[in-house]
Structure 1
């Protein structure tokens, strides 16, 4: 008895939950107003993620979004970081909005769109004349009882790409339809949007973005991760590396930068080259779902010789110019005890180097490959080594998003097809014809009139032929 009571209680509980789901939750989820509000909120925060720089350092947000004065009176760096506007697309609340919106679309698809499609696929014959008066468009024609007008109407409808249905035991009724694809279109649209949302969520959870500044000639692995999803570890390169074979800049005749290039090689774990490409702005390298963009450049080092010494490669650091251009500098000792030296400054890879003594006086200006006398030694500047700035991104959700957009566009095109239905009944010397459509009402009325005119003209031709 106890087991039976427990089973009965569980059954009643599930019945209550199911009833609550159908009566309370589903009407809310499938409400069009809710879907519109969710879509607007998602669009609003997506715009904020585009306007507000994502994945920057704390110092960046403190400098650009100060507390006093706060942007719009409230948006300071503290608010921005607390809410998560520095990484909008990976916050729990943004992902929750996407899931909620996708759930609403899915519920609407199963409770409204699929039943509407099933209803459209079913056909029902009208075998009484009064049924035609309920249609938005209907007509009554006088026909000869011996004249098979229904058969002629069938041929006309088939010529206009209607699918005609007739019952074997009822040869006086007819049902025809076309454009059923228009009923499938909204379902495809919903599926496309849900796929886009799934792709966005997957990309946010598994994607990452990194930035690297690599000197020409160096190998590197992706390490400087700026932003990454919680499941991004599988996407970050571990069994292959990249080598910057060469970095160079093309200049215009006026000395300004025309374009900068990086010759990159992908190396496997054995150090063998498996891919190679010269990248520049808007022409990245893609390998195993990771994309390497050319975004920046700098000066990494200078190669010099003092008298007949070995070649030294000394790193160069970017100097603070308070926004007046970019300059890199380094210090070169001219005595073994480092008691004397000179400073080298350069602003680009065109090879011009400025040499200053300890008092800050300009000693000489040389180009790559040239020598000069400073502090009693011969200083030869062999080369200025550039470094390439790469932005590295992986977003496994992009193919899914593209597939979703393709489905969305297909569904939109399919939705433009009108679902048109026509019924006909021949009885007591009359032919009743009526129809309805879900869109393009005027065009449908014109089509029905043309069908009736075509049918009438055929009847007149046959009557003249019989009379003669």
Structure 2
């Protein structure tokens, strides 16, 4: 090859330099995220984020109270709705905190578990050179026996008291190193691992759990189907076909109230079966005492009244409706509607529009004798009354647009399509005759019960994790790390005797370790075969 060829050869292409700064930034942020300080901050944020879920009504638990809160707070209510305050545990910001805490705990625990496992396999450290410089130390008088023999005896004594021990020989000098309290770090790791498992249990409930609400009037029932629930929330991987088959029928509801109006007992007598032709069984559901069946829990939430309204139109056709009314205060003053869309239709003739009848009213379990009769004096049904407002026209139900079953469409009233006919107060058995000759009667009332059905496959995982959290926390708080060293040196004046020096150290609670050190010193002294006197521990200031 010629010199000219060498001079014109292209220079070798060097690889593009990597971006060490970007990698350093990622590593720094990862270390920040997986630090214990960040995990504690995220745990605090998670607890703080859950506060609105306990203070504000939640859509999946009680949608009626959510609507009531929105109507009572026209300014603040919509703002809270936009940030997901009525569905806290399903909101994106709560899920973000949850996921970050999950990642932080994993990144924080993994290296700590490796270090702890490595520490458990290591022998206790060798004795310091100067035991007499330790805060807890003592030197025992010379005792009969060889250092190796005495070390074996001392090791057995300490191991019986659950000390991890190792014997080291350094020429003629023999040292016994002992350590105790590794359960402190084990408990700490169990606490954090259990917290991680608890998060997994809660997440599994969100994926495969579900819950639903239904309002049952006495005499009614439902089967476990989405179409029969008033409101439901399904996990991400739950479908209608995966719901367990069962049916529940509400026979009777019992409620007792104190003189102050506070409820003292809620109980619902129900009949249930597997929905597949199996035998029917009876049970009573009470507050915090659910019915457990087919892997689901059936809770009793709240109660109210369903006035029974009977309407006879001008053609003599009678319609009866036990309509659930929703409580408006703690005395169960309740409001609701009864709609008779098929009333005033002449038998055998074409259907006429604009002649539907609807009643909007207030039910008072204990009606005052004086003043307005729209506010009850007690939740107990001592003198029930029903104030009705009759409307005639187009209720809007035939439009196909979903309507509330607890209030009339105010838009229809404002447009004049649904007109007020009159108002009247009724007691059970009373009858009111309207202007067109039709009549409405207040037949009586039934009580209704709010039922919640819940299935959460992660509940057992959460329970076990919560127990382990408590146990791990107790170990972490109660157990202390401490170390003990015993140096056995042949007596310079008598080779058949041995001088024993003892030193102890506690990483935490040094004052409490003083008593334990004295007891250990006494046990070591009594385990020696022969001793001319008893040693006494001396204090050395740090």
For the criterion TM > 0.5, the same-fold answer is yes
**CA distance, structure 1, for counterparts of residue 32 and residue 440 of structure 2:** 79
* Shift, 1:407, TM fit: 1.0
User: Residues 156 and 295 of structure 1: is their aligned pair in 2 closer, same or farther, counting only changes over 3 Å?
Assistant: same
Correspondence 1:288-327 to 2 at 5 A: 288-299=295-306, 301=308, 313-316=320-323, 318=325, 325-326=333-334
**CA distance, structure 1, for counterparts of residue 336 and residue 274 of structure 2:** 34
User: Contact between 2:124 and 2:165, CA under 8 Å: does it hold in 1?
Assistant: no
Aligned pairs, number: 435
Q: Report SS of the residue matched to 2:219.
A: coil
2:132 corresponds to 1:63:
no
Q: Deviations over 1:19-66 (max 9, x none)?
A: 869953553233232122212211211112222222147744542443
Q: Tell me which residue corresponds to 2:400.
A: none
Q: Report SS of the residue matched to 2:190.
A: helix
Q: Which of 512, 525, 530 pairs up with 1:443? A: 512
Range that drifts further, 216-225 or 37-46: 216-225
* Shift, 1:139, TM fit: 4.1
Q: Which of 39, 43, 49 pairs up with 2:47? A: 43
Range that drifts further, 294-303 or 226-235: 226-235
**As a proportion of its length, which structure holds more helix?**
1
- Give the gaps of 5 or more residues in structure 2: 1-14, 348-354, 366-380, 391-420, 492-498, 534-542
* Shift, 1:405, TM fit: 0.7
Q: Which of 445, 451, 455 pairs up with 1:390? A: 451
Structure-1-length-normalised TM-score: 0.73
**CA distance, structure 2, for counterparts of residue 453 and residue 321 of structure 1:** 74
Q: Report SS of the residue matched to 2:462.
A: helix
User: Contact between 1:209 and 1:392, CA under 8 Å: does it hold in 2?
Assistant: yes
User: Residues 303 and 260 of structure 1: is their aligned pair in 2 closer, same or farther, counting only changes over 3 Å?
Assistant: farther
Q: Tell me which residue corresponds to 2:472.
A: 411
Q: Tell me which residue corresponds to 1:5.
A: none
Q: Tell me which residue corresponds to 1:91.
A: 91
User: Contact between 1:299 and 1:387, CA under 8 Å: does it hold in 2?
Assistant: yes
User: Residues 234 and 442 of structure 1: is their aligned pair in 2 closer, same or farther, counting only changes over 3 Å?
Assistant: farther
- Give the gaps of 5 or more residues in structure 1: 1-8, 71-75
Structure-2-length-normalised TM-score: 0.64
* Shift, 1:77, TM fit: 1.7
User: Contact between 2:324 and 2:448, CA under 8 Å: does it hold in 1?
Assistant: no
**CA distance, structure 2, for counterparts of residue 439 and residue 235 of structure 1:** 58
Q: Tell me which residue corresponds to 1:116.
A: 116
**CA distance, structure 2, for counterparts of residue 42 and residue 410 of structure 1:** 22
User: Residues 124 and 84 of structure 1: is their aligned pair in 2 closer, same or farther, counting only changes over 3 Å?
Assistant: same
* Shift, 1:189, TM fit: 0.5
User: Residues 130 and 174 of structure 1: is their aligned pair in 2 closer, same or farther, counting only changes over 3 Å?
Assistant: same
Q: Report SS of the residue matched to 2:186.
A: helix
User: Contact between 1:244 and 1:262, CA under 8 Å: does it hold in 2?
Assistant: yes
**CA distance, structure 1, for counterparts of residue 306 and residue 469 of structure 2:** 47
Q: Tell me which residue corresponds to 2:239.
A: 233
**CA distance, structure 1, for counterparts of residue 56 and residue 199 of structure 2:** 22
Q: Tell me which residue corresponds to 2:411.
A: none
